[in-house]
């Protein structure tokens, strides 16, 4: 276009006004020429994965499948339109024999697993992923408590990184309300407005962290039939506020003991109010039926971000609070024989 305009200039006698028009036209053409926006792509090389194996991209934040593709000759590729970036995803095969989490950005990215296993593949093209790799390259082999300490330090030193927002949203119940607020306050406005930031804000607002010796904190939630139930509906009884989920192996192992305990003490005024951290209603209901859990069940199907879990500061399951007939919390995290002993003690005192 520039060469055509230049030729025309040579062929005609230009007045100063025409020269001005020409310059303005040229500048307009230059300014209006859009630079192509970078787009996400991921080209992968693997090692020993069968042809036809499906590889999935799954959003961790939104807990939904983004895309899938097949491995052919130990290579795969994605040309996916991402709604937003950076985006934290799981990349995995159907049987989970190959799995890797990573941060995607709107750039051409590569995944090189030719000389290593899938989980430790070298990923390029994302500055966020580079930072994440640097963090976990140094701490992956450490004991959990030391790893947690370094992750907390990373959050403190990188308040503008989306990785910090992701980590703090995940560990907020582990760090506790006060520490979470301390780490969250210096965050950039962008981080605070992110989905992770919104989850952290919600935790801070909801969390009451009731302690043994304090009154229980009431809440309401729908049961398996969609009927709203309140914890306070059971006031006047000895209540075990139980936090669990169908996918939690430890919870399912504990359930037979809980069933026996319920059968033994229910006639004496003992009730269970179970809050599920499931996000799949069908799985939740199947587990209730299979384990014959014949007590009150509620859930908002928000997984670990269940509102009752936020209120009570639950950072692992199974977990529970034992509440006496006056609404006072008298025990926490009681299971098996320890729960039976505590209930026997309560019932003995009540009968004297």
Per-residue model confidence (pLDDT) at position 167: 97
Please choose, from the candidates 65, 107, 58, the residue with its C-alpha nearest in 3D space to the C-alpha of residue 86.
107
Full-model pTM: 0.80
CATH no., domain 220-351: 3.40.30.10
CATH no., domain 41-126: 2.60.40
Per-residue model confidence (pLDDT) at position 209: 87
Element (H, E) at 320: strand 319-323
Token look-up 């306050």 returns 185
Structure tokens at 94: 């159907």
Domain ranges in the chain are: 2-32, 41-126, 142-206, 220-351
Q: Do 118 and 112 touch, CB atoms closer than 8 A?
A: no
For residue range 54-80, list pLDDT tens digits in order: 999 999 998 899 999 999 999 999 999
Per-residue model confidence (pLDDT) at position 24: 47
The stretch 267-285 carries a mean pLDDT of 97
For residue range 187-233, list pLDDT tens digits in order: 999 999 999 999 999 999 999 989 999 999 999 999 999 999 999 99
The stretch 75-96 carries a mean pLDDT of 94
Bridge-based pairing of strands 228-230 and 220-222 is antiparallel
**pLDDT band at 1, cuts 50/70/90?**
very low
Strand, helix or coil for residue 241: strand
Tell me the C-alpha to C-alpha distance, in Å, between residue 155 and each of 60, 174, 188, 308, 344: 19, 14, 12, 26, 45
Q: Do 241 and 216 touch, CB atoms closer than 8 A?
A: yes
For residue range 132-159, list pLDDT tens digits in order: 999 998 787 889 899 999 999 999 999 9
Q: How far apart are CA 286 and CA 148, in angstroms?
A: 35
Please tell me which residue, 13 or 298, carries the higher pLDDT value.
298
Structure tokens at 256: 């037979």
Per-residue model confidence (pLDDT) at position 351: 62
- Average pLDDT value for the chain: 90
């Amino acid at each position: 276009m520039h060469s055509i305009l230049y030729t025309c200039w040579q062929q005609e006698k230009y007045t100063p006004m025409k020269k001005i028009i020409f310059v303005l036209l040229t500048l307009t053409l230059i300014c209006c020429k859009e630079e192509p926006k970078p787009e996400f792509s991921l080209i992968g090389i693997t090692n020993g994965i069968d042809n036809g194996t499906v590889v999935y991209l799954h959003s961790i934040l939104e807990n939904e499948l983004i895309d899938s593709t097949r491995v052919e000759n130990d290579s795969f590729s994605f040309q996916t339109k991402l709604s937003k970036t950076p985006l934290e995803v799981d990349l995995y095969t159907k049987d989970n024999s190959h799995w890797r989490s990573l941060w995607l950005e709107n750039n051409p990215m590569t995944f090189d697993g030719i000389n290593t296993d899938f989980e430790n593949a070298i990923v390029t093209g994302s500055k966020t992923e580079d930072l994440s790799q640097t963090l976990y390259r140094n701490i992956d082999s450490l004991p959990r408590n030391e790893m947690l300490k370094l992750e907390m330090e990373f959050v403190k030193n990188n308040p503008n990184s989306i990785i910090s927002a992701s980590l703090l949203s995940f560990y907020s119940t582990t760090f506790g309300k006060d520490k979470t607020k301390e780490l969250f306050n210096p965050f950039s406005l962008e981080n605070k407005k992110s989905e992770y930031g919104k989850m952290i804000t919600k935790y801070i607002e909801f969390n009451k962290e009731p302690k043994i010796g304090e009154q229980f904190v009431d809440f309401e939630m729908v049961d398996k039939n969609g009927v709203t139930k309140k914890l306070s509906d059971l006031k006047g009884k000895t209540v075990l506020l139980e936090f669990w989920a169908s996918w939690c192996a430890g919870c399912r192992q504990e359930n037979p003991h809980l069933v026996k305990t319920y059968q033994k003490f229910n006639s004496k005024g003992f009730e269970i109010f179970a809050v599920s951290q499931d996000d799949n209603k069908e799985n939740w209901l199947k587990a209730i039926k299979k384990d014959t859990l014949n007590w009150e069940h509620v859930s908002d199907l928000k997984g670990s971000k269940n509102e009752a879990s936020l209120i009570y500061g639950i950072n692992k399951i199974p977990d529970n609070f034992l509440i006496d007939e006056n609404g006072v919390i008298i025990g926490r995290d009681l299971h098996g024989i320890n729960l039976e002993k505590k209930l026997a003690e309560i019932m003995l005192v009540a009968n004297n």
